[in-house]
């Protein structure tokens, strides 16, 4: 595997000025002498950082189709992106779930989770929880507490790239809003067949310049 050569070649010299090289030199992120775990980390970083943001962009296009007023308001006042971006991430929830193993017995919603049980945490469902998020079924670009969602997970594994993702989405929409009066969805989306990544394979659109 060519990747192994890269990993070994960089081991003895100083790190180059890129993230992959820095990760392979730090004893913690290098994962000792375990290239599989190191590769796992690099792949996680790459996939976690690309699938999620692009499906959020497509998800926003779908949302703007149902809420055209939102797009017009953002064009009039791009500072609204500050709250619109986290709302887009909540609305799309591109990572549908993660799984944990319970380390102790726990009572939740009247059910007992036993130590050792495997628990699936459906972020897509949590992000539509009306007990926590007001009007959860509506796409609202100026929510009072827009970052109060679970699309990035929770706890020590909460998405390490969450702020980067928000920045990327803000810049993408700043640039799109500047250029295009409207983007119309002109056909049915082709959804990704996955219970893990909630996203799209294709979405036909027409850009109105
Ligand atoms: C809208 C965009 C994104 C969403 C919705 C998202 C969502 C998530 C979720 C749900 C987790 C798991 C949290 C958990 O297990 O508790 C996660 C973990 C992670 N994300 Fe993201 N992510 C996004 C963008 C990014 C970006 C841009 C990067 C980096 C370039 C990134 C890197 C990671 C990594 C490395 C982890 C693993 C963290 C750990 O296990 O400690 N993500 N993300």
Rounded to the nearest 10 degrees, the angle between the axes of helix 2-9 and helix 35-66 is: 110
34 CA distance to ligand 1 middle (Å)? 22
Domain for residue 21, yes or no? no
In degrees and rounded to multiples of 5, residue 48 shows phi and psi of: -60, -30
Does some domain include residue 18?
no
The pLDDT of residue 44 is 86
Taking residue 40's Cβ as centre, other Cβ atoms within 10 Å add up to 12
Helices (H) and strands (E) in the chain, counts: 8, 8
Q: Which domain holds residue 182?
A: 31-208
Looking at the whole model, is its pTM more than 0.75?
yes
Can you give the pLDDT at residue 26? 84
Q: Whose CA is nearest to atom 20 of ligand 1?
A: 159
User: Does residue 2 sit within a domain?
Assistant: no
How far, in Å, CA of 140 to CA of 88, rounded? 9
Is the CB of 161 within 6 Å of ligand 1?
yes
Tell me what pLDDT residue 10 has.
55
**Which pLDDT score, from 0 to 100, does residue 13 have?**
75
Is 10 domain-assigned? no
* Residue-level pLDDT at 21: 82
CB within 8 Å of 143: residues ≥ 6 apart? 83, 86, 87
| pLDDT of res. 12 | 67
CB of 155 shorter than 6 A to ligand 1: yes
Kindly give the parts of the chain with pLDDT less than 50. Answer: 1, 8
pLDDT at 31: 72
Looking at the domain assignment, is residue 144 inside a domain? Answer: yes
- If one counts the domains in the chain, the total is 1
CA 140 to CA 173: how far, in whole Å? 16
From the CB of 44, is ligand 1 less than 6 Å away?
yes
Q: Is 48 in the pocket of ligand 1 (CB under 6 A)?
A: yes
CATH number of 170's domain: 1.10.630.10
């Amino acid at each position: 595997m060519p990747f192994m050569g890269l990993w070994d070649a960089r081991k003895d010299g100083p790190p180059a000025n890129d993230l992959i090289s820095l990760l392979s030199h730090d004893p913690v992120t290098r994962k000792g002498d375990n290239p599989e775990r190191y590769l796992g980390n690099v792949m996680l970083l790459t996939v976690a950082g690309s699938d999620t943001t692009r499906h959020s962009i497509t998800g926003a296009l779908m949302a703007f189709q149902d809420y055209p007023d939102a797009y017009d308001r953002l064009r009039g006042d791009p500072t609204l992106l500050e709250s619109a971006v986290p709302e887009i991430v909540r609305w799309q929830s591109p990572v549908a779930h993660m799984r944990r193993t319970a380390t102790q017995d726990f009572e939740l919603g009247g059910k007992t989770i036993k130590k050792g049980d495997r628990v699936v945490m459906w972020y897509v469902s949590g992000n539509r929880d009306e007990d926590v998020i007001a009007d959860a079924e509506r796409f609202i670009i100026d929510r009072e507490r827009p970052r109060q969602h679970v699309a990035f997970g929770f706890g020590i594994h909460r998405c390490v790239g969450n702020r980067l993702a928000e920045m990327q989405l803000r810049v993408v929409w700043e640039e799109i809003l500047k250029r295009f009066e409207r983007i119309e969805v002109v056909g049915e989306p082709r959804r990704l067949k996955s219970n893990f990544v909630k996203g799209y394979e294709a979405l036909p659109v027409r850009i109105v310049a």
